[in-house]
Structure 1
Amino acid sequence: MYVCLCKAITDTRIRDAVIDGADSLADVRRDLGVASNCGCCAKCARQLIRQTRQEIASLDEACQVA
């Protein structure tokens, strides 16, 4: 799904950026250009970043338990 129409950035690219170490909207903006034009996508991008970080943390916890 496209999150940032201005820059044609998809949710997959944002998730990949977070997996690669982006930790905030500022990081994703720097790496991909998300929310650097009109800014309408900022809220959705933040949610996606937060969700992806939570998923990574859950996986990390599961791996430590196993």
Structure 2
Amino acid sequence: MYVCLCNAISDKAIRNAVRQHQPQSMQQLRKLVPIGTDCGKCIRQARVIFEEEQAKIPDMYKVA
């Protein structure tokens, strides 16, 4: 599903960026994927996807 129509960014692209690069903030994610650079309507959905993927990444302190 497209999250950002202006830049043709899909939810899969956002999920892959979070999994591969593990950004710690939306600001870091936006450096990897050009979301919210035009109209900004995608930011809310992108944040939801970002938070879902962040929750799946194991916390290194819990694993150790």
Q: How far did residue 42 of structure 1 move?
A: 0.4
1 or 2, which has the higher helix percentage?
1
Unaligned runs of 5+ in 1: none
Name 1:3's counterpart in structure 2: 3
Moved over 2 A (4+): none
Contact 1:25–1:46 (Cα < 8 Å) also in 2: yes
Name 2:32's counterpart in structure 1: 31
Tell me the TM-score normalized by structure 2: 0.80
Between the two proteins, what is the percent identity of the paired residues?
35
Contact 1:7–1:34 (Cα < 8 Å) also in 2: yes
Q: Kindly tell me the number of residue pairs found equivalent between the two proteins.
A: 61
2:3 aligned counterpart, secondary structure: strand
Q: 2:37 is aligned with what amino acid? A: S
CA distance in 1, matches of 2:30, 2:5: 14
2:58 aligned counterpart, secondary structure: helix
Unaligned runs of 5+ in 2: none
